[in-house]
A and B are shown apart, each in its own frame.
Chain A
């Protein structure tokens, strides 16, 4: 398996622009997670989906952030409008949930977002 795939790997944009981050989870995994990592705040869970349904979005910073999972193989995290304080590395992770995986999460390589 190719693992969790994220695109783009790097994104540089200007304040006020819309940014869309993409994630393809591992085939067969039923849960997907979006994390943000910064030097100041460390690793933060933004939102997670189970069977394509958002379960907990309490980590989403504000209404400028939205996430969707239209099907089991694709998810997006959108920031509109973007601000410099959104600059961070965004990780997507997936897991098979219950069963023999014991909830081990597999992480993608991340998208490094810079908002100027």
Chain B
């Protein structure tokens, strides 16, 4: 069974501090991993996709297959980063398992 675990429901940091949102997964094979973000009163939107290996809004995430983790990191948090963050996985790119399995989310608050 595929599963995504985000151990922290809430995370609070001060502006300028580093932030790390944890995500662990369970999947038989090589999944595709994503981070989605939902800002207040906005729709869910894609932040990062691991195969893109991009840095978006200063965030990065590295897939660690040994630890089955895909933690989201940013060296200096900004107040506008305050949002709900969801880690998600699907089957491998090019395969037939396209559905997303989400974690329960982590609410990040960046204090001034």
Whether A and B are associated in the same complex: the answer reads no
User: Which residues of B are interface residues toward A (Cβ below 8 A)?
Assistant: none
User: Which residues of A are interface residues toward B (Cβ below 8 A)?
Assistant: none
